[in-house]
Structure 1
Amino acid sequence: MTTPVIEMKAITKTFPGVRALSDVSFDVRTGEVQALVGENGAGKSTLIKILSGVYQADSGAVLMNGKAVHFRHPVDSLRAGISTIYQEFSLLPERTVAQNLFLGREPRTRLGLIDAAKMRDETKEVLALFAAAGRIDPDRIVGELDVATQQVVEIAKAVSTGARVVVMDEPTAALNEAECEELFATVDTLRERGVAIIYITHRMREIARLADRVTVLKDGEVAARFDEVPAPNEIVRAMVGRDIADFYAPPASPDEVGGLVLSVRGGGNAVLDGIDLDVRRGEIVGLAGIQGAGRVALARALFGDAPFERGDVTLDGDAVSFGTPRAAILGGIGLLPGDRKSEGLVLMQSVRDNGMLTSRAFASLWSSDRRNAHSDTVRMDGLLDHMEIRAASYDQDIRALSGGNQQKAIVARWLSMRPKLLIFIEPTRGIDVNSKAGIYHLMRDLAREGAGILMISSDLPEVIGAADRVLVMQAGRIVAEFPHGASEQDVMHAATAESEVAA
């Protein structure tokens, strides 16, 4: 066994009234991926911020290559060779890729001027390590790049500083399936170069794909250590004290499934073709498929964002044609977007205001008087209570809530509109394991109350476990249907088999 690059011994950290970490020990070695997992609030972020110099521990020690180090500032950690990549990138969007990589340490000419040519050449050398290098121009403005490419730039920035330890905090939270694979290849490249990687994630499949060892935190303490990656169920049990099987609500029984809420026949547009789709009251229908199969395009068509150009759609037995999201909302359709922070929330507004965004936008003029405004507020607070949202106050900014509670606030927003059909896109993206269970049971409760649920997810076990029926899409068409509990192999085969497209 080699000496750990980083070793954190008996770390304890207390904030006013809260012990965030208690006697936590953790280490990572050269050329390995150590997964750090736990629920939101388990202490992962605090531990990493101590390693990064953002916080100082109350007690305990941090060793680097066996020698004690003291990071009083993030710059100290960075200079020691530790680079942390948070979910919110630290890139400057108005500067180029090269300028971001060498920010604050730009190469200079003999006259003291920035050597732009050298900076560009060195950027190309660093980017050559990554699969995405071919599509990244060192002179490209970072704000013009997609999220996956910006993440490569963040990692390249860490490599360019000579980082020996790279911390990745939920790196796939905003990536699609193909982009995730590129990230995994990048992690493999870093590992081969001897970089030690601390990988924070809630996704069991990523742990199985990448990790060499796993450390589980719970309530600020080490709940388990695994020197080899165990079955997902063991990790989940260490995190939350129950099995994966308990996370999904039981499927709908035959007497819980009612009449048609939604029916589409021959639906199509520039992306979709020949869509035949039924969603009944009381059931959850899952949409599976690889990236670009048309799942999100179908959601957008139903929601009037990129409408059907042909075919027939009925909602609650009435023929409808929604040309705009406004029309779809008024017709009884709600949609929870895949990226809640950029598409679903106003982060600087309160929990209550976020819950009331849609109802206020569609309120009639008479509802603006104070009595009705007060009544609307009371009703929204009741819905937020019903969602069991954990918040110090509904007046606090929603950005302070966990991902699961933010998602519940968006659900409360749609419940205030009494929708007939709710479309969930990536319903548990960036949410910890225990909060995922809450979302699954919430969807089931909404279905039992009479709504139809259409769920789109890139997490195949999630689709299979939470849905009553799974529809598989490929090239803009629905090509297969499976009942609850189908195997991942069968669903994936249907999503990728060339014969299905030609059928």
Structure 2
Amino acid sequence: MSQIPLLSLTNIGKTYVEPVLAGVSLQIRSGQVLALTGENGAGKSTLSKIICGLINATDGTMLLDGHAYQPGSRQDAERLGIRMVMQELNLIPTLSIAENLFLQQMPQRFGWIDKPRLAKMAKEQMATVGLDDLDPWTLVGELGVGHQQMVEIARNLIGHCRLLVLDEPTAMLTDREVELLFLQIARLQAEGVAIIYISHRLEELKRVANTIAVLRDGELVCDADIAGYSSDDLVRLMVGRAVDAEREHGARHFGAPLLRVRDIARRGVVQPTSFDLRAGEVLGIAGLIGSGRTELLRLIFGADRADQGELFFGEQTTATRINSPKAAIAAGIAMITEDRKGQGLLLPQAIASNTTLAKLTTVSKRGWIDNDAETAVADQYIKRLNVRCRNGAQAVGELSGGNQQKVVIARWLYRDCPIMLFDEPTRGIDIGAKFEIYQLLAELAQQGKGLVIVSSDLRELMLISDRIAVMSAGSLVKTFERGQWSQDAILQAAFSGYAKPTDAADVIKTAATSQAA
């Protein structure tokens, strides 16, 4: 490694209304993988955005190769080889995968875009992140968030890159995609690329990083070799206290079915699928990206139109027609979407407005919003979910990703639906808040609600679920009762609709090894 750090940060600070970063000093060298972690709101994303030119620091200085570095924009940083894959994806949904990948460098022939060459370039780049089974002309807006994440990663691996910032890159990825990403990180590291890897998944940090930096309340509390710290040590540094990461599941009592799904399907996406959801039950849905997990929830919620199938509520013998989210909400179904920014929140609006959005009649008089009533509701849920904010009047777009997720959950808790569909409920949430959410889910089940939870984190599903249903290639292939599942068995079922047996076994072995690590 060079004696001169690739990037040096000295006393970096950022103040909005209040300081969110203060006195952060770090050095990053070529070929180094720096794990950056901390609770939601600790300043991780703010620091990375300063490095990558998205915002300016209020205080401090930066040096790149020993020379003053102060990018005025993301484009300025990228020209110098500083790139970032953000939680908020920087893709254009109305363009194809190929066009998004090479938007700034379209191959041309006689003044026209050379589409055959573009397709070839795109397929080669897509293969590096495991997307070689997709058509490069597929519109990005038609992809799930997990596939979009891989497209964004592939885009940032094109061309000159000296420092790559990855902000929660695996939050929406399953084990197969995570392994492909780790292979790319190892390749980049060998080529001398420095990487800042931001994640709450502590077991991943120890796999990929040389050093660890921990932020707490905007201040750097640790900058050291990661080998000297256990996961428990890092949690204590992050939250200032120990966290009980292995809550006992406890016995739950199930009632009669709240929802009976019968042969619901959408051509090419979800094959005819049936299951019952009982009162007081947490039903986990596992599977690879593209297996139909999210699409199944969207069919139940009426966000997509089913080609066939019926939904029965409670003891009804007549099916209820759900052809829109409005109809689903009226029937008692809530859905916490995987894409909180695009589908879950009104980002410019206040926390209070977002919290009461699904039940406005209770905070309005004669068609006008009662601000005092709305504020009281928001304050209640801010306290209950420990949302880190100034007050309920703060715009939800100013919050960290994890706190935004809590606001989405608060809205549906306030609506009080008996059936709740959660798509990646802990995406982008730090470990302390994650177990607060787990406790909340357990409380909802104890209240008699029925919960369906899609998660890319198998350990999460195995910790919180009463049953786990596995989807593969659009079909619900197997359902495991608590005590009957194993990680290998779930992964085997998840791959059953895709891979040759030998290929599946190889990936399962690799994924199981990484989980054990």
Indicate whether the TM-score tops 0.5.
Answer: yes
Task: Provide the rounded CA distance (Å) in 2 between the counterparts of 1:169 and 1:481.
Answer: 33
2:166 partner amino acid: M
Q: Can you list the C-alpha shifts for 1:81-103, whole angstroms capped at 9, x where unaligned?
A: 32334334556778845873349
Letter in 1 for 2:357: L
- Aligned residue for 1:439? 437
Distance 1:266 1:3 in 2: 65
Q: State the Cα distance separating 1:198 from its structure 2 match.
A: 1.5
| 2:355 counterpart of 1:359 | no
C-alpha spacing 1:139/1:217, structure 2 compared with 1 (3 Å): same
Instruction: Indicate the residue corresponding to 2:330 in structure 1.
Output: 330
Tell me the residue number matched to 2:26: 26
Q: Mark the runs of 5 or more structure 2 residues left unpaired by the alignment.
A: 499-517
The Cα of 1:460 is off from its aligned counterpart by 0.9
User: Counterpart amino acid of 1:442?
Assistant: L
Letter in 2 for 1:346: L
Is the contact between residue 404 and residue 439 of structure 1 (CA under 8 Å) also seen in structure 2?
Answer: no
**AA at the equivalent of 2:209:** A
Aligned 1:186-205 pairs, distance under 5 A: 186-205=184-203
Alignment of 1:274-423 (within 5 A): 275-281=274-280, 283-305=281-303, 306-307=305-306, 309-310=308-309, 313-315=312-314, 320-324=319-323, 325-360=325-360, 369=366, 377=374, 380-381=377-378, 383-385=380-382, 386-423=384-421
Name the structure 1 match of 2:225. Answer: 226
Taking structure 2 as the reference length, the TM-score comes to 0.76
Q: Secondary structure at the match of 2:212?
A: strand
Contact preservation (8 Å) 1:261, 1:317:
no
Structure 1 residues 373 and 232, CA gap change in structure 2 (3 angstroms):
same
Q: 1:205 to 1:419 in 2, by over 3 A?
A: same
Structure-1 separation of matches of 2:123 and 2:83: 17
- Would the alpha carbon gap of residues 463 and 308 (structure 1) be closer, same or farther in structure 2, given more than 3 Å must change? farther
Unmatched runs of 5 consecutive residues or more in structure 1: none
CA 1:69 to 1:486, structure 2 compared with 1: closer, same or farther past 3 Å?
farther
SS at match of 1:11: strand
Partners of 2:125 and 2:6 lie apart in 1 by 24
Alpha carbons of structure 1 residues 227 and 64: separation in structure 2 relative to 1, 3 Å: farther
Aligned length: 482
Does residue 6 (structure 1) correspond to residue 2 (structure 2)? The answer is no
Give the alignment's Cα RMSD to 1 decimal: 4.4
Structure 2: which amino acid aligns with 1:260?
A: A
Which residue number corresponds to residue 269 of structure 1? Answer: 265
Structure 1 residue 425: deviation in Å?
Answer: 0.9
2:457 alignment counterpart: 459
Range with greater deviation from structure 2 (266-275 or 320-329): 266-275
Distance 2:142 2:300 in 1: 29
**Which shifted more, 188-197 or 93-102?**
93-102
Aligned partner of 1:338: which letter?
E
Q: Tell me, what secondary structure is at the counterpart of 2:415?
A: coil
Q: CA deviation at 1:478?
A: 4.8
TM-score w.r.t. structure 1 length?
Answer: 0.78
Q: Quote the offset at 1:340 in angstroms.
A: 1.3
**Take 2:256 and 2:138, find their aligned partners in 1: how far apart are those partners?**
50
Does the alignment pair 1:100 with 2:100?
no
In 1, Cα distance between equivalents of 2:112 and 2:35 = 38
- Same amino acid, percent of matched pairs: 31
Q: Which amino acid aligns with 1:101?
A: Q
Residue 25 of structure 1, CA deviation:
3.7
**Matching residue of 2:148:** 147
How far is the alpha carbon of 1:301 from its aligned partner? 3.7
How big is the shift at 1:424? 0.9
Query: For residues 187 and 461 of structure 1, what CA distance do their matches in structure 2 show?
Result: 23
1:41 counterpart = 2:41: yes
1:260 aligns with 256
Shift of 1:332: 1.2
Checking the alignment, whether the CA contact within 8 Å between 2:41 and 2:399 is kept in structure 1 is no
Aligned pairs (5 A) from 1:457-496: 457-475=455-473, 476-483=475-482, 487-496=486-495
Q: How many Å apart are 1:498 and its aligned residue?
A: 7.2
Larger radius of gyration: 1
